[in-house]
Amino acid sequence: MSDPLLKVENLVKHYPLGAAGIFRKDVPVVRAVQDVSFSVEAGETLCIVGESGCGKSTVARLLMRLTEPTDGRVLLEGTDIAGLNKHALRDSRRRMQMVFQDPYSSLNPRLTAGQIITEPVGNFERLSRRKRDALAAELLQKVGMAPEMMHRLPSELSGGQRQRLGIARALSLNPSIIIADEAVSALDVSVQAQILNLLMDLQEQMGIAFVFISHDLSVVEHIGHRVAVMYLGRIVELAPCEALFANPVHPYTEALIAAAPVPNPTQVRLEVPVEGEVPSPVKPPSGCAFHPRCPLAIERCRIDVPALTRTRDGRVVACHVRAPARCSPGQSDVGSFSLTPVA
List 50, 55, 160, 306, residue binding ligand SF4 (CB under 6 A): 306
Of the candidate residues 288, 307, 308, 339, the single one contacting ligand SF4 (CB under 6 A): 288
Give min distance, CB of 236 to ligand SF4, in A. Answer: 7
Taking the least distance from each CB to ligand SF4, the nearer of 258 and 297 is 297
Burial 39-58 (b: 16+ CB within 10 A, else e): bbeebbbbbbbbeebbbbbb
Out of 93, 162, 234, 291, name the contact with ligand SF4 by CB under 6 A: 291
For the bound state, the minimum distance from the C-beta of residue 321 to ligand SF4, rounded and expressed in Å, comes to 4
Residue 24 backbone phi and psi in degrees, to 5: -130, 80
Does 301 engage in binding with ligand SF4 (CB under 6 A)? yes
Q: How far is the CB of 318 from ligand SF4 (least distance, A)?
A: 7
Write the CA distances from 98 to 123, 169, 173, integer angstroms: 16, 9, 11
**Which of 239, 221, 303, 231 lies closest to 274 in space, CA to CA?**
231
Of 47, 195, 238, 319, the one binding ligand SF4 (CB under 6 A) is 319
Residue type, 303: I
Percent helix, strand, coil in the chain (nearest 5)?
35, 20, 45
Say whether residue 305 binds ligand SF4 (CB under 6 A): no
Smallest separation, CB 317 to ligand SF4 (Å)? 9
CA angle (155 as vertex; 152, 160 as ends), nearest 5: 90
Half-sphere exposure (Cβ direction) of 214: Cα atoms closer than 13 Å: 25
Q: Is 1 exposed, middle or buried (0-12, 13-18, 19+ CB in 10 A)?
A: exposed
| Stretch of 97-105, 188-196, 294-302, 334-342 contacting ligand SF4, by CB under 6 A | 294-302
Contact between 317 and ligand SF4 (CB under 6 A)?
A: no
Binding of ligand SF4 by 297 (CB under 6 A): yes
Residues that bind ligand SF4 (CB under 6 A): 250-251, 288, 290-291, 294, 296-297, 301, 306, 319-322
